[in-house]
Structure 1
Amino acid sequence: MTTAVDRLAPGDHVCWAFRGDDERLTTMLDFVDAGLRAGEKVMCFTDGTAPRTLRSALADRGVDVGTAGALGRVAFHTADDSYLATGRFDAEAMLDGWRGQLVRTRREGYPGLRVIADMAWAARSPRVDGTERLAWYEAQAGRIFADGYATVVCMYDQRLFADDRLRGIAAAHPATVSPRTADDWRPRLRLARTADPVGLRLTGEADRTCRDALEAVLAGLAEDLPADGPVTVDLGGLAFADAGCAAALARAAGALPYGMRVVGASAALRRLLGLVGAGARGLTVPLGAGGDAPARRRGPRPLRSGRRSPARPPARRARDGRSTACRA
Protein backbone atom coordinates (compact mmCIF):
# COMPACT_ATOMS: atom_id res chain seq x y z
CA MET A 1 0.00 0.00 0.00
CA THR A 2 1.41 3.38 -0.99
CA THR A 3 1.29 6.31 1.39
CA ALA A 4 1.51 10.08 0.95
CA VAL A 5 5.25 9.82 1.64
CA ASP A 6 5.63 7.48 -1.34
CA ARG A 7 4.04 10.09 -3.63
CA LEU A 8 6.56 12.81 -2.86
CA ALA A 9 9.13 13.80 -5.46
CA PRO A 10 12.18 16.08 -5.66
CA GLY A 11 10.99 19.68 -5.65
CA ASP A 12 8.03 19.04 -3.35
CA HIS A 13 7.74 21.36 -0.35
CA VAL A 14 4.91 20.10 1.84
CA CYS A 15 3.15 21.37 4.95
CA TRP A 16 2.31 18.16 6.83
CA ALA A 17 -0.41 18.96 9.38
CA PHE A 18 -0.84 16.08 11.81
CA ARG A 19 -2.53 15.26 15.09
CA GLY A 20 -0.90 12.68 17.31
CA ASP A 21 2.56 11.51 18.36
CA ASP A 22 2.20 8.18 16.57
CA GLU A 23 1.53 9.89 13.22
CA ARG A 24 4.53 12.14 13.66
CA LEU A 25 6.84 9.22 14.42
CA THR A 26 5.49 7.03 11.61
CA THR A 27 5.78 9.83 9.02
CA MET A 28 9.35 10.60 10.03
CA LEU A 29 10.36 6.94 9.92
CA ASP A 30 8.73 6.39 6.52
CA PHE A 31 10.36 9.53 5.10
CA VAL A 32 13.87 8.78 6.37
CA ASP A 33 13.65 5.14 5.34
CA ALA A 34 12.47 6.04 1.81
CA GLY A 35 15.26 8.59 1.38
CA LEU A 36 17.99 6.17 2.43
CA ARG A 37 16.63 3.47 0.13
CA ALA A 38 16.71 5.98 -2.74
CA GLY A 39 20.36 6.78 -2.04
CA GLU A 40 19.56 10.38 -1.11
CA LYS A 41 21.09 12.43 1.67
CA VAL A 42 18.62 12.72 4.55
CA MET A 43 18.34 15.43 7.17
CA CYS A 44 15.90 15.02 10.05
CA PHE A 45 15.11 17.91 12.41
CA THR A 46 13.34 16.89 15.60
CA ASP A 47 11.62 18.64 18.46
CA GLY A 48 8.77 16.55 19.84
CA THR A 49 10.76 13.32 19.32
CA ALA A 50 14.30 12.75 20.54
CA PRO A 51 16.89 11.78 17.87
CA ARG A 52 17.79 8.62 19.80
CA THR A 53 14.13 7.53 19.62
CA LEU A 54 14.19 7.87 15.82
CA ARG A 55 17.47 5.99 15.51
CA SER A 56 16.18 3.16 17.67
CA ALA A 57 12.88 2.93 15.76
CA LEU A 58 14.72 2.89 12.41
CA ALA A 59 17.01 0.12 13.67
CA ASP A 60 13.90 -1.87 14.65
CA ARG A 61 12.80 -1.59 11.00
CA GLY A 62 16.09 -3.08 9.88
CA VAL A 63 17.59 0.22 8.72
CA ASP A 64 21.35 0.35 9.30
CA VAL A 65 21.16 3.89 10.58
CA GLY A 66 24.52 3.62 12.31
CA THR A 67 26.42 3.03 9.10
CA ALA A 68 24.34 5.62 7.24
CA GLY A 69 25.14 8.17 9.92
CA ALA A 70 28.85 7.36 9.91
CA LEU A 71 28.93 7.83 6.13
CA GLY A 72 27.12 11.17 6.40
CA ARG A 73 24.06 9.89 4.53
CA VAL A 74 21.72 10.75 7.39
CA ALA A 75 21.90 13.40 10.09
CA PHE A 76 19.62 14.13 13.04
CA HIS A 77 19.37 17.61 14.52
CA THR A 78 17.31 19.17 17.28
CA ALA A 79 15.56 22.50 16.80
CA ASP A 80 17.84 24.09 19.38
CA ASP A 81 21.00 23.27 17.43
CA SER A 82 19.55 24.26 14.06
CA TYR A 83 16.57 26.58 13.70
CA LEU A 84 17.24 28.18 17.10
CA ALA A 85 21.03 27.94 17.19
CA THR A 86 21.32 31.69 17.88
CA GLY A 87 18.61 31.67 20.55
CA ARG A 88 16.02 33.02 18.12
CA PHE A 89 14.63 32.17 14.71
CA ASP A 90 16.69 33.97 12.07
CA ALA A 91 14.80 33.44 8.81
CA GLU A 92 17.47 34.90 6.54
CA ALA A 93 20.23 32.84 8.14
CA MET A 94 18.19 29.65 7.69
CA LEU A 95 17.54 30.44 4.03
CA ASP A 96 21.24 31.02 3.44
CA GLY A 97 21.89 27.72 5.20
CA TRP A 98 19.62 25.85 2.81
CA ARG A 99 21.31 27.40 -0.21
CA GLY A 100 24.67 26.25 1.06
CA GLN A 101 23.37 22.80 1.96
CA LEU A 102 22.02 22.23 -1.55
CA VAL A 103 25.40 23.17 -3.04
CA ARG A 104 27.27 20.83 -0.66
CA THR A 105 24.90 17.91 -1.21
CA ARG A 106 25.26 18.19 -4.98
CA ARG A 107 29.04 18.30 -4.69
CA GLU A 108 28.92 15.15 -2.57
CA GLY A 109 27.26 13.37 -5.48
CA TYR A 110 23.88 12.55 -3.99
CA PRO A 111 20.92 12.26 -6.40
CA GLY A 112 18.84 14.38 -4.08
CA LEU A 113 18.35 15.83 -0.61
CA ARG A 114 15.54 14.82 1.74
CA VAL A 115 14.56 17.06 4.64
CA ILE A 116 11.89 16.49 7.27
CA ALA A 117 11.42 18.93 10.14
CA ASP A 118 9.19 18.90 13.20
CA MET A 119 8.19 22.56 13.56
CA ALA A 120 6.79 22.26 17.11
CA TRP A 121 9.46 24.69 18.34
CA ALA A 122 7.61 27.50 16.54
CA ALA A 123 4.67 27.07 18.95
CA ARG A 124 6.68 27.28 22.18
CA SER A 125 5.53 29.51 24.99
CA PRO A 126 6.75 32.16 25.52
CA ARG A 127 6.83 32.77 21.81
CA VAL A 128 10.21 32.39 20.17
CA ASP A 129 11.56 35.63 18.75
CA GLY A 130 11.40 35.63 14.96
CA THR A 131 8.58 33.14 14.54
CA GLU A 132 6.23 35.92 13.44
CA ARG A 133 8.04 35.61 10.09
CA LEU A 134 7.55 31.86 9.83
CA ALA A 135 5.04 31.95 6.94
CA TRP A 136 7.29 34.36 5.01
CA TYR A 137 10.24 32.05 5.62
CA GLU A 138 8.33 29.01 4.32
CA ALA A 139 7.33 30.83 1.15
CA GLN A 140 10.89 31.98 0.52
CA ALA A 141 12.22 28.49 1.20
CA GLY A 142 9.92 27.30 -1.56
CA ARG A 143 11.88 29.48 -3.99
CA ILE A 144 15.06 27.63 -3.05
CA PHE A 145 13.49 24.17 -3.28
CA ALA A 146 11.86 24.91 -6.67
CA ASP A 147 15.11 23.84 -8.33
CA GLY A 148 13.76 20.29 -8.17
CA TYR A 149 16.56 18.72 -6.10
CA ALA A 150 15.24 18.58 -2.54
CA THR A 151 12.14 16.89 -1.11
CA VAL A 152 11.03 18.79 1.98
CA VAL A 153 8.34 18.03 4.57
CA CYS A 154 7.55 20.55 7.32
CA MET A 155 5.52 18.89 10.10
CA TYR A 156 3.02 21.04 11.99
CA ASP A 157 1.15 19.63 15.00
CA GLN A 158 -2.46 20.79 14.80
CA ARG A 159 -2.71 20.56 18.60
CA LEU A 160 -0.14 23.34 18.93
CA PHE A 161 -0.98 25.81 16.15
CA ALA A 162 -4.15 27.89 15.94
CA ASP A 163 -6.25 27.20 12.84
CA ASP A 164 -5.81 30.68 11.33
CA ARG A 165 -2.06 30.60 11.83
CA LEU A 166 -1.80 27.13 10.34
CA ARG A 167 -3.82 28.21 7.30
CA GLY A 168 -1.36 31.01 6.67
CA ILE A 169 1.58 28.64 7.01
CA ALA A 170 -0.07 26.10 4.71
CA ALA A 171 -0.59 28.75 2.01
CA ALA A 172 3.17 29.31 2.03
CA HIS A 173 3.65 25.71 0.83
CA PRO A 174 2.70 24.43 -2.63
CA ALA A 175 1.09 21.36 -1.03
CA THR A 176 -0.50 20.36 2.28
CA VAL A 177 -1.21 17.03 3.92
CA SER A 178 -3.73 16.78 6.77
CA PRO A 179 -5.39 13.96 8.74
CA ARG A 180 -8.33 14.30 6.34
CA THR A 181 -6.19 13.74 3.26
CA ALA A 182 -7.59 11.11 0.90
CA ASP A 183 -5.70 7.90 0.19
CA ASP A 184 -4.99 9.01 -3.39
CA TRP A 185 -3.42 12.32 -2.29
CA ARG A 186 -1.02 14.06 -4.62
CA PRO A 187 0.73 17.41 -4.06
CA ARG A 188 -1.75 20.13 -5.00
CA LEU A 189 0.83 22.21 -6.82
CA ARG A 190 4.32 21.48 -8.03
CA LEU A 191 6.68 24.29 -8.98
CA ALA A 192 9.85 23.48 -10.91
CA ARG A 193 12.33 25.88 -12.48
CA THR A 194 13.47 24.84 -15.95
CA ALA A 195 16.72 25.41 -17.84
CA ASP A 196 15.57 24.87 -21.43
CA PRO A 197 13.70 27.06 -21.88
CA VAL A 198 14.68 29.19 -18.91
CA GLY A 199 11.59 29.46 -16.79
CA LEU A 200 9.13 27.71 -14.51
CA ARG A 201 6.73 24.79 -14.86
CA LEU A 202 3.49 24.56 -12.86
CA THR A 203 1.68 21.25 -12.38
CA GLY A 204 -1.54 20.52 -10.50
CA GLU A 205 -3.86 23.24 -9.20
CA ALA A 206 -3.13 26.85 -8.29
CA ASP A 207 -5.59 28.55 -5.98
CA ARG A 208 -5.73 30.47 -2.70
CA THR A 209 -4.69 27.43 -0.62
CA CYS A 210 -1.13 27.72 -1.99
CA ARG A 211 -1.19 31.36 -3.13
CA ASP A 212 1.69 32.65 -1.04
CA ALA A 213 3.99 29.85 -2.19
CA LEU A 214 3.24 30.56 -5.85
CA GLU A 215 3.60 34.33 -5.51
CA ALA A 216 6.97 33.99 -3.76
CA VAL A 217 8.39 31.79 -6.52
CA LEU A 218 7.02 34.04 -9.27
CA ALA A 219 8.24 37.21 -7.57
CA GLY A 220 11.72 35.70 -7.28
CA LEU A 221 12.09 34.73 -10.93
CA ALA A 222 14.08 37.84 -11.84
CA GLU A 223 16.66 37.02 -9.15
CA ASP A 224 16.56 33.22 -9.34
CA LEU A 225 16.62 32.91 -13.14
CA PRO A 226 19.00 35.40 -14.74
CA ALA A 227 18.05 35.35 -18.41
CA ASP A 228 18.84 37.31 -21.57
CA GLY A 229 15.31 36.92 -22.90
CA PRO A 230 11.72 36.33 -21.77
CA VAL A 231 11.18 33.80 -18.99
CA THR A 232 8.90 30.97 -20.11
CA VAL A 233 6.21 29.80 -17.68
CA ASP A 234 4.69 26.47 -18.71
CA LEU A 235 1.11 26.05 -17.51
CA GLY A 236 0.37 22.93 -19.53
CA GLY A 237 0.27 20.77 -16.41
CA LEU A 238 -2.28 22.90 -14.57
CA ALA A 239 -5.69 21.31 -14.18
CA PHE A 240 -7.07 24.44 -12.51
CA ALA A 241 -5.97 28.01 -11.87
CA ASP A 242 -7.98 30.85 -10.36
CA ALA A 243 -7.93 34.57 -11.00
CA GLY A 244 -5.36 35.06 -8.26
CA CYS A 245 -2.91 32.86 -10.16
CA ALA A 246 -3.46 34.89 -13.33
CA ALA A 247 -2.93 38.14 -11.44
CA ALA A 248 0.29 36.80 -9.87
CA LEU A 249 1.60 35.88 -13.32
CA ALA A 250 0.84 39.37 -14.59
CA ARG A 251 2.63 41.03 -11.68
CA ALA A 252 5.66 38.79 -12.09
CA ALA A 253 5.84 39.54 -15.81
CA GLY A 254 6.09 43.24 -15.09
CA ALA A 255 9.07 42.70 -12.79
CA LEU A 256 11.10 40.66 -15.29
CA PRO A 257 13.59 42.65 -17.40
CA TYR A 258 12.62 40.82 -20.61
CA GLY A 259 9.08 39.90 -19.70
CA MET A 260 7.30 36.57 -19.47
CA ARG A 261 6.02 34.17 -22.10
CA VAL A 262 3.21 31.95 -20.87
CA VAL A 263 2.73 28.64 -22.71
CA GLY A 264 0.30 25.75 -22.34
CA ALA A 265 -2.47 27.80 -20.78
CA SER A 266 -5.98 26.40 -21.04
CA ALA A 267 -8.71 28.40 -22.75
CA ALA A 268 -10.13 29.37 -19.35
CA LEU A 269 -6.76 30.57 -18.08
CA ARG A 270 -6.07 32.49 -21.30
CA ARG A 271 -9.38 34.23 -20.72
CA LEU A 272 -8.38 35.10 -17.14
CA LEU A 273 -5.02 36.41 -18.32
CA GLY A 274 -6.83 38.56 -20.84
CA LEU A 275 -8.92 40.05 -18.04
CA VAL A 276 -6.60 40.46 -15.05
CA GLY A 277 -3.31 40.50 -16.92
CA ALA A 278 -4.41 43.08 -19.38
CA GLY A 279 -1.89 45.74 -20.10
CA ALA A 280 0.77 43.98 -18.02
CA ARG A 281 4.19 44.98 -19.28
CA GLY A 282 6.04 42.08 -20.83
CA LEU A 283 3.31 39.42 -20.58
CA THR A 284 2.72 37.45 -23.78
CA VAL A 285 0.47 34.47 -24.33
CA PRO A 286 0.89 32.24 -27.39
CA LEU A 287 -2.04 31.90 -29.74
CA GLY A 288 -0.84 28.50 -30.90
CA ALA A 289 0.78 28.07 -34.29
CA GLY A 290 0.02 31.66 -35.15
CA GLY A 291 2.45 33.31 -32.73
CA ASP A 292 2.42 35.42 -29.58
CA ALA A 293 0.29 38.33 -28.50
CA PRO A 294 0.30 40.52 -25.41
CA ALA A 295 -2.47 39.97 -22.88
CA ARG A 296 -4.96 42.79 -23.36
CA ARG A 297 -7.36 44.35 -20.90
CA ARG A 298 -11.01 43.85 -21.50
CA GLY A 299 -13.40 45.20 -18.92
CA PRO A 300 -15.43 42.31 -17.45
CA ARG A 301 -19.16 42.62 -18.00
CA PRO A 302 -21.18 42.07 -14.81
CA LEU A 303 -23.60 39.16 -15.06
CA ARG A 304 -27.03 39.21 -13.47
CA SER A 305 -28.75 36.06 -12.35
CA GLY A 306 -30.92 34.57 -15.03
CA ARG A 307 -29.49 36.66 -17.85
CA ARG A 308 -26.99 35.74 -20.49
CA SER A 309 -23.96 37.88 -21.09
CA PRO A 310 -24.07 39.88 -24.31
CA ALA A 311 -22.64 38.15 -27.33
CA ARG A 312 -19.03 39.07 -28.07
CA PRO A 313 -18.22 40.77 -31.34
CA PRO A 314 -15.79 38.87 -33.56
CA ALA A 315 -12.12 39.29 -32.62
CA ARG A 316 -10.36 41.98 -34.63
CA ARG A 317 -7.93 40.43 -37.11
CA ALA A 318 -4.43 41.49 -37.97
CA ARG A 319 -3.32 41.70 -41.59
CA ASP A 320 -1.91 38.17 -41.48
CA GLY A 321 -5.25 36.81 -40.30
CA ARG A 322 -4.31 36.07 -36.69
CA SER A 323 -6.20 37.36 -33.70
CA THR A 324 -4.48 40.24 -31.92
CA ALA A 325 -5.75 39.31 -28.44
CA CYS A 326 -5.98 36.12 -26.38
CA ARG A 327 -9.45 34.68 -26.42
CA ALA A 328 -10.79 31.34 -25.29
Structure 2
Amino acid sequence: MTATHHGHIRLAGASLGRHRHICAFFHNSKEGFEILGPFILDGLRCEHKAVHLVSADKREDHITRLRCEGIDTDASQLTGQLEIRTTVDAYLKDGLFDQDRMVEEFSAMASGNASGAFPLSRIVCDMDWAADTPEHLQDLIEFESRVNELWEQHDDIVVCVYDLARFDGGTVVNIMRTHPLVLIGGILRENPFYIPPTQFLAELSERRSEKGGQSAAAE
Protein backbone atom coordinates (compact mmCIF):
# COMPACT_ATOMS: atom_id res chain seq x y z
CA MET A 1 0.00 0.00 0.00
CA THR A 2 1.20 3.50 -0.74
CA ALA A 3 2.23 5.80 2.10
CA THR A 4 -0.82 8.03 2.04
CA HIS A 5 -4.28 6.96 3.09
CA HIS A 6 -5.87 9.95 1.34
CA GLY A 7 -7.28 11.43 4.53
CA HIS A 8 -9.73 9.91 6.97
CA ILE A 9 -12.10 7.65 5.07
CA ARG A 10 -15.08 6.53 7.10
CA LEU A 11 -17.58 3.74 6.72
CA ALA A 12 -20.37 2.95 9.19
CA GLY A 13 -18.95 5.58 11.56
CA ALA A 14 -15.47 4.02 11.68
CA SER A 15 -12.21 5.26 10.14
CA LEU A 16 -10.48 2.93 7.72
CA GLY A 17 -6.82 2.17 8.23
CA ARG A 18 -4.39 -0.09 6.40
CA HIS A 19 -6.88 -2.91 5.68
CA ARG A 20 -9.60 -1.99 3.21
CA HIS A 21 -11.03 -5.28 1.91
CA ILE A 22 -14.37 -5.59 3.67
CA CYS A 23 -17.14 -8.18 3.79
CA ALA A 24 -20.41 -6.43 4.54
CA PHE A 25 -23.40 -8.49 5.67
CA PHE A 26 -26.94 -7.17 5.40
CA HIS A 27 -30.42 -8.64 5.42
CA ASN A 28 -31.61 -6.76 2.32
CA SER A 29 -30.59 -4.07 -0.18
CA LYS A 30 -32.39 -1.30 1.69
CA GLU A 31 -30.49 -1.99 4.90
CA GLY A 32 -27.23 -2.12 2.98
CA PHE A 33 -27.76 1.17 1.19
CA GLU A 34 -28.60 3.01 4.40
CA ILE A 35 -24.98 2.42 5.41
CA LEU A 36 -23.26 2.38 2.03
CA GLY A 37 -25.09 5.39 0.55
CA PRO A 38 -23.30 8.03 2.65
CA PHE A 39 -19.97 6.26 2.05
CA ILE A 40 -20.54 6.35 -1.72
CA LEU A 41 -21.61 10.01 -1.68
CA ASP A 42 -18.61 10.99 0.42
CA GLY A 43 -16.30 9.27 -2.05
CA LEU A 44 -17.74 11.15 -5.02
CA ARG A 45 -17.39 14.43 -3.14
CA CYS A 46 -13.74 13.54 -2.44
CA GLU A 47 -13.23 12.96 -6.17
CA HIS A 48 -12.68 9.25 -5.70
CA LYS A 49 -13.78 6.88 -8.42
CA ALA A 50 -16.87 4.77 -7.69
CA VAL A 51 -17.04 1.30 -9.24
CA HIS A 52 -20.26 -0.58 -8.54
CA LEU A 53 -20.82 -4.19 -9.55
CA VAL A 54 -24.55 -4.90 -9.28
CA SER A 55 -26.86 -7.62 -10.53
CA ALA A 56 -28.73 -6.67 -13.70
CA ASP A 57 -32.14 -6.83 -12.01
CA LYS A 58 -30.98 -4.36 -9.33
CA ARG A 59 -29.33 -1.81 -11.62
CA GLU A 60 -32.25 0.60 -11.98
CA ASP A 61 -33.09 0.40 -8.29
CA HIS A 62 -29.44 1.04 -7.47
CA ILE A 63 -29.35 4.13 -9.69
CA THR A 64 -32.56 5.40 -8.07
CA ARG A 65 -31.03 5.02 -4.60
CA LEU A 66 -27.91 6.89 -5.73
CA ARG A 67 -30.06 9.73 -7.03
CA CYS A 68 -31.93 9.85 -3.72
CA GLU A 69 -28.54 10.47 -2.07
CA GLY A 70 -28.21 13.55 -4.26
CA ILE A 71 -25.84 11.97 -6.80
CA ASP A 72 -26.11 13.06 -10.43
CA THR A 73 -25.64 9.58 -11.86
CA ASP A 74 -25.74 10.69 -15.51
CA ALA A 75 -23.05 13.34 -15.09
CA SER A 76 -20.89 11.09 -12.90
CA GLN A 77 -20.99 8.30 -15.45
CA LEU A 78 -20.17 10.69 -18.31
CA THR A 79 -17.03 11.90 -16.51
CA GLY A 80 -16.03 8.33 -15.70
CA GLN A 81 -16.14 8.94 -11.96
CA LEU A 82 -19.04 6.50 -11.57
CA GLU A 83 -18.87 3.14 -13.28
CA ILE A 84 -21.76 0.68 -12.91
CA ARG A 85 -21.22 -2.84 -14.23
CA THR A 86 -23.36 -5.93 -13.97
CA THR A 87 -22.01 -8.69 -11.78
CA VAL A 88 -22.51 -11.32 -14.48
CA ASP A 89 -20.38 -9.31 -16.94
CA ALA A 90 -17.72 -8.79 -14.28
CA TYR A 91 -17.59 -12.16 -12.54
CA LEU A 92 -19.05 -14.68 -14.99
CA LYS A 93 -17.66 -13.92 -18.41
CA ASP A 94 -18.93 -16.63 -20.78
CA GLY A 95 -20.71 -18.14 -17.77
CA LEU A 96 -17.47 -19.06 -16.01
CA PHE A 97 -15.81 -17.74 -12.88
CA ASP A 98 -12.08 -17.61 -13.56
CA GLN A 99 -9.96 -16.62 -10.56
CA ASP A 100 -6.95 -15.54 -12.60
CA ARG A 101 -9.09 -13.39 -14.88
CA MET A 102 -10.76 -11.78 -11.87
CA VAL A 103 -7.41 -10.91 -10.30
CA GLU A 104 -6.56 -9.17 -13.59
CA GLU A 105 -9.97 -7.44 -13.65
CA PHE A 106 -9.55 -6.02 -10.16
CA SER A 107 -5.94 -5.11 -10.81
CA ALA A 108 -7.15 -3.01 -13.73
CA MET A 109 -9.69 -1.31 -11.44
CA ALA A 110 -7.04 -0.45 -8.85
CA SER A 111 -6.25 3.25 -8.61
CA GLY A 112 -2.58 2.75 -9.39
CA ASN A 113 -3.43 1.12 -12.72
CA ALA A 114 -6.80 2.54 -13.79
CA SER A 115 -6.80 5.40 -16.26
CA GLY A 116 -8.12 8.77 -15.15
CA ALA A 117 -7.37 11.41 -12.59
CA PHE A 118 -8.98 9.78 -9.56
CA PRO A 119 -6.67 9.23 -6.56
CA LEU A 120 -8.34 6.00 -5.46
CA SER A 121 -11.38 3.84 -6.06
CA ARG A 122 -14.25 2.84 -3.80
CA ILE A 123 -15.45 -0.48 -5.19
CA VAL A 124 -18.77 -1.95 -4.06
CA CYS A 125 -19.59 -5.50 -5.17
CA ASP A 126 -23.03 -7.10 -4.91
CA MET A 127 -22.32 -10.78 -4.30
CA ASP A 128 -25.84 -12.14 -4.95
CA TRP A 129 -24.57 -13.73 -8.15
CA ALA A 130 -22.67 -16.26 -6.02
CA ALA A 131 -25.88 -17.37 -4.32
CA ASP A 132 -27.43 -17.87 -7.77
CA THR A 133 -24.48 -19.97 -8.95
CA PRO A 134 -23.44 -22.09 -5.93
CA GLU A 135 -21.17 -24.21 -8.14
CA HIS A 136 -18.74 -21.27 -8.10
CA LEU A 137 -18.73 -20.73 -4.33
CA GLN A 138 -15.55 -22.64 -3.53
CA ASP A 139 -13.61 -20.86 -6.25
CA LEU A 140 -15.02 -17.53 -5.07
CA ILE A 141 -13.91 -18.13 -1.48
CA GLU A 142 -10.41 -19.01 -2.68
CA PHE A 143 -10.38 -15.88 -4.84
CA GLU A 144 -11.53 -13.68 -1.95
CA SER A 145 -8.46 -14.85 -0.06
CA ARG A 146 -6.07 -14.49 -3.01
CA VAL A 147 -7.17 -10.97 -3.87
CA ASN A 148 -6.05 -9.66 -0.46
CA GLU A 149 -2.49 -9.75 -1.81
CA LEU A 150 -3.57 -7.29 -4.52
CA TRP A 151 -5.46 -4.93 -2.23
CA GLU A 152 -2.57 -4.77 0.23
CA GLN A 153 -0.69 -2.93 -2.52
CA HIS A 154 -3.34 -0.23 -3.02
CA ASP A 155 -5.34 2.31 -1.04
CA ASP A 156 -8.63 1.41 -2.71
CA ILE A 157 -11.60 0.36 -0.58
CA VAL A 158 -13.40 -2.81 -1.67
CA VAL A 159 -16.73 -3.69 -0.07
CA CYS A 160 -18.11 -7.15 -0.87
CA VAL A 161 -21.83 -7.09 -0.02
CA TYR A 162 -23.41 -10.38 1.05
CA ASP A 163 -27.11 -10.91 1.79
CA LEU A 164 -27.31 -12.99 4.97
CA ALA A 165 -30.60 -14.51 3.85
CA ARG A 166 -28.96 -16.02 0.76
CA PHE A 167 -25.88 -17.78 2.16
CA ASP A 168 -25.66 -20.62 4.66
CA GLY A 169 -23.68 -20.42 7.88
CA GLY A 170 -20.68 -22.37 6.61
CA THR A 171 -20.31 -20.08 3.61
CA VAL A 172 -20.62 -16.96 5.79
CA VAL A 173 -17.85 -18.25 8.06
CA ASN A 174 -15.54 -18.90 5.09
CA ILE A 175 -16.29 -15.47 3.65
CA MET A 176 -15.38 -13.89 6.97
CA ARG A 177 -12.11 -15.81 7.05
CA THR A 178 -11.06 -14.15 3.79
CA HIS A 179 -11.68 -10.49 4.70
CA PRO A 180 -9.60 -8.49 7.19
CA LEU A 181 -12.57 -6.24 8.00
CA VAL A 182 -16.19 -7.19 8.59
CA LEU A 183 -19.30 -4.98 8.62
CA ILE A 184 -22.20 -6.68 10.38
CA GLY A 185 -25.06 -5.34 12.45
CA GLY A 186 -24.17 -1.88 11.14
CA ILE A 187 -20.76 -1.99 12.85
CA LEU A 188 -17.40 -2.11 11.07
CA ARG A 189 -14.60 -3.86 12.93
CA GLU A 190 -11.32 -5.70 12.56
CA ASN A 191 -12.24 -9.28 11.74
CA PRO A 192 -11.02 -11.75 14.41
CA PHE A 193 -11.77 -14.66 12.06
CA TYR A 194 -9.55 -13.39 9.24
CA ILE A 195 -6.77 -15.72 8.07
CA PRO A 196 -3.98 -14.33 5.84
CA PRO A 197 -3.92 -15.71 2.27
CA THR A 198 -0.78 -17.83 2.65
CA GLN A 199 -2.25 -19.74 5.59
CA PHE A 200 -5.82 -19.91 4.26
CA LEU A 201 -4.81 -21.15 0.82
CA ALA A 202 -2.50 -23.75 2.35
CA GLU A 203 -5.43 -25.02 4.44
CA LEU A 204 -7.62 -25.24 1.34
CA SER A 205 -4.95 -27.17 -0.53
CA GLU A 206 -4.58 -29.59 2.39
CA ARG A 207 -8.33 -30.17 2.58
CA ARG A 208 -8.50 -30.90 -1.13
CA SER A 209 -5.63 -33.35 -0.87
CA GLU A 210 -7.39 -35.14 1.99
CA LYS A 211 -10.65 -35.34 0.04
CA GLY A 212 -8.80 -36.59 -3.00
CA GLY A 213 -7.15 -39.28 -0.92
CA GLN A 214 -10.45 -40.33 0.63
CA SER A 215 -12.11 -40.52 -2.79
CA ALA A 216 -9.29 -42.68 -4.14
CA ALA A 217 -9.47 -44.97 -1.12
CA ALA A 218 -13.23 -45.43 -1.59
CA GLU A 219 -12.86 -46.60 -5.18
Q: TM-score, normalised by structure 1?
A: 0.53
Q: Decide whether the 8 Å contact of 2:19 with 2:181 is kept in 1.
A: no
Give the structure 1 partner of residue 215 of structure 2.
none
Percent of pairs with identical residues: 22
Answer yes or no: is 1:51 the counterpart of 2:59.
yes
Please list every run of 5 or more consecutive structure 2 residues that lacks an aligned counterpart in the other structure. 1-9, 203-219
1:148 is displaced (CA, Å) by 3.3
- 2:32 aligned residue (5, 24, 28): 24
Cα RMSD (Å): 2.5
The residue identity in structure 1 corresponding to 2:167 is F
Contact 1:91–1:130 under 8 Å retained in 2: no
Q: How big is the shift at 1:216?
A: 6.3
Q: Give runs of aligned pairs for residues 1-328 of structure 1, distance below 5 A.
A: 4=12, 7-8=15-16, 11-47=19-55, 50-102=58-110, 103-105=112-114, 107-124=115-132, 127-179=133-185, 181=187, 185=188, 187-188=189-190, 207=192, 209-213=193-197, 215=199
Q: Which has the larger radius of gyration?
A: 1
Aligned-residue offset at 1:215? 3.9
1:96 and 1:3 mapped to 2: Cα distance? 26
Is residue 120–residue 155 contact of structure 2 (8 Å, CA) maintained in 1? yes
Q: Match for residue 216 of structure 2?
A: none
CA distance in 2, matches of 1:55, 1:215: 39
1:259-317 C-alpha deviation (Å, 9 max, x unpaired): xxxxxxxxxxxxxxxxxxxxxxxxxxxxxxxxxxxxxxxxxxxxxxxxxxxxxxxxxxx
Structure 1, unmatched stretches of 5+, are: 190-206, 220-328
In structure 2, relative to structure 1, the CA distance for the partners of 1:11 and 1:112 (3 Å cut) is farther
How many residue pairs get aligned? The number is: 192
Q: 1:6 to 1:67 in 2, by over 3 A?
A: farther
- Quickly say closer, same or farther: Cα 1:104–1:153, change in 2 above 3 A: same
Query: Would the alpha carbon gap of residues 132 and 3 (structure 1) be closer, same or farther in structure 2, given more than 3 Å must change?
Result: closer
Note if contact 1:48-1:120 (Cα within 8 Å) is conserved in structure 2: no
Higher-helix-fraction structure: 2
- The 1:41–1:132 alpha-carbon spacing in structure 2 relative to 1, beyond 3 Å, is same
SS in 1 for 2:194: helix
Deviations 1:135-170, CA, capped at 9 Å, x for gaps: 110111111011132100001111011111111111
Aligned partners of 1:174, 1:157: CA distance in 2, in Å?
18
Deviation at 1:3, TM superposition (A): 5.2
Larger RCO: 1 or 2 (CA < 8 Å, sep 6+): 2
The Cα of 1:7 is off from its aligned counterpart by 2.8
**Closer, same or farther: CA 60–10 of 1 in aligned 2, 3 Å:** farther
Cα distance in structure 2, aligned partners of 1:39 and 1:10: 20
Q: Distance in 1 between matches of 2:85 and 2:154?
A: 24
